[in-house]
């Protein structure tokens, strides 16, 4: 009962904020396409990656998210152009969204095998709400919808990605048109439509790989996620790669009022979480990943953590003239 009440309060706060956060994955560290369109073609071979996330296990109506992404380069010789596609499904209580995006990245070769990539993604999202699946205290409230409503909203993404063999820096802006594409057609006599509209998000990330020994490598990384309204999310990640076969790592996520936003009050819990992650290479071209997230704030008393599963499959090209293939750590 307490868990249900807490979830209801969380949904209510979302209505007040009049914006929806981007879907959250812990394993973006294994595939950056979900947060940056300029990442398309990074592995320089065709790569298929799928992730499913069950957040806040134990909550009825808790978020569930799944995504399938495919990316690669168009020319295995020059590797100048990367293309990617991604389908994402997200559900939170009566709310649901399905998005389809295509990404284009122009990959400029620089010195010492480094590249500067500029990417653009365009797509469309179907937002839906099923009011008939909820029970209301006052079913006659004109601000509520008792049926199913949905709408299509176009949007775009922009990103820059620089990488060397051992280092990367990324910057991206997601949901570029979110400020201009509301969902007013959802309700004619209320403003609950605003809970289905995403807000613009800015991502800044970076990381490096340190060779401890030939068989042990350390990968620290950082990501800052900003929507200019709510708390700024900061992810600190540390991973160890063993014998090029097993990733083991942890992540600490904290929400902070980095810019002194006046709209945030002391009563708003910014949220913190700890993640434990692993990814194992079951073969040269297939990997399986799992992560477990546990909130460290007050919500942890009412749920059993979040689980995330992923699978990645690499389809290597048969270009015998290309001898430049090397491990991809990001």
Q: What is the pLDDT of residue 272?
A: 84
Q: pLDDT tens digits for 276-323?
A: 999 999 999 999 999 999 887 766 666 778 999 999 999 998 765 555
Q: What percent of the chain has pLDDT over 70?
A: 75
Structure tokens at 18: 């009049």
* Cα separation, 279 vs 242, whole angstroms: 11
188 Cβ contact list (under 8 Å, min separation 6): none
CA 298 to chain centre: 24
Structure tokens at 10: 């969380």
DSSP H helices in the chain: 2-17
Structure tokens at 307: 């689980």
Given a contact cutoff of 8 angstroms between Cβ atoms, the answer to whether 167 and 193 are in contact is: no
Given a contact cutoff of 8 angstroms between Cβ atoms, the answer to whether 215 and 246 are in contact is: no
211 Cβ contact list (under 8 Å, min separation 6): 217
List Cα–Cα distances, 272 to 23, 55, 88, 199, 255, in angstroms: 16, 14, 24, 21, 6
148 Cβ contact list (under 8 Å, min separation 6): 128, 129, 130, 131, 132
Mean pLDDT over residues 60-68, rounded?
A: 88
- Tell me the DSSP string of 272-310: EEEEEEEEEEEETTEEEEEEEEEE-SGGGGG---EEEEE
Given a contact cutoff of 8 angstroms between Cβ atoms, the answer to whether 22 and 34 are in contact is: no
DSSP H helices in 121-177: none
Mean pLDDT over residues 208-217, rounded?
A: 97
Mean pLDDT: which of 54-58, 59-63, 241-245, 321-325 is highest? 241-245
* Cα separation, 149 vs 191, whole angstroms: 14
Band (pLDDT 50/70/90 cuts) for residue 31 is very high
Of residues 87 and 9, more confidence is placed in 87
Q: What is the C-alpha radius of gyration for the chain, rounded to an integer number of angstroms?
A: 21
Q: pLDDT tens digits for 130-169?
A: 766 666 666 666 656 556 778 888 999 999 999 999 999 9
129 pLDDT above the threshold of 60:
yes
Q: What is the pLDDT of residue 127?
A: 85
Domains with residue ranges and CATH for the chain: 2-315 (2.40.160.40)
What's the whole-model pTM score? 0.85
Q: Which of 74-83, 134-143, 203-212, 215-224 has the lowest mean pLDDT?
A: 134-143
182: helix, strand or coil:
coil
């Amino acid at each position: 009962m307490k868990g249900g009440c807490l979830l209801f309060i969380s949904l209510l706060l979302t209505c007040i904020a009049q914006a929806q956060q981007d879907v959250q994955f812990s394993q973006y560290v294994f595939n950056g396409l979900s947060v940056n369109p300029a990442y398309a073609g990074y592995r320089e071979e065709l790569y298929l990656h799928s992730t499913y996330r069950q957040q806040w296990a134990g909550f009825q109506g808790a978020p569930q998210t799944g995504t399938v992404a495919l990316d690669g380069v168009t020319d295995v010789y020059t590797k100048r152009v990367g293309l990617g596609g991604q389908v994402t499904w997200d559900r939170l209580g009566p709310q649901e969204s399905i998005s389809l995006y295509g990404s284009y990245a122009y990959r400029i070769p620089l010195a010492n095998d480094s590249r500067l990539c500029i990417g653009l993604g365009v797509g469309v999202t179907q937002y839906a709400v099923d009011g008939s699946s909820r029970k209301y205290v006052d079913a006659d409230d004109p601000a509520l919808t008792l049926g199913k409503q949905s709408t299509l909203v176009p949007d775009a993404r922009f990103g820059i990605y620089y990488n060397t063999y051992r280092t990367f820096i990324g910057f991206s802006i997601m949901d570029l048109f979110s400020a201009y594409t509301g969902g007013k057609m959802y309700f004619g006599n209320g403003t609950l439509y605003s809970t289905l509209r995403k807000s613009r998000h800015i991502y800044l990330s970076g990381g490096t790989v340190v060779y401890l020994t030939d068989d042990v490598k350390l990968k620290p990384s950082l990501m800052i996620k900003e929507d200019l309204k709510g708390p700024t999310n900061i992810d600190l990640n540390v991973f160890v790669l063993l014998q090029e076969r097993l990733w083991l790592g942890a992540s600490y996520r904290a929400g902070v009022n980095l810019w002194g936003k006046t709209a945030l009050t002391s009563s708003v819990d910014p949220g913190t979480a700890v993640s434990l992650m692993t990814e194992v290479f079951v073969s040269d071209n297939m990997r399986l990943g799992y992560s477990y997230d546990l909130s460290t704030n007050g919500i942890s008393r009412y749920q059993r953590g979040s689980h995330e599963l992923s699978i990645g499959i690499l389809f290597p090209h048969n270009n015998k003239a290309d001898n430049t293939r090397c491990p991809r750590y990001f």
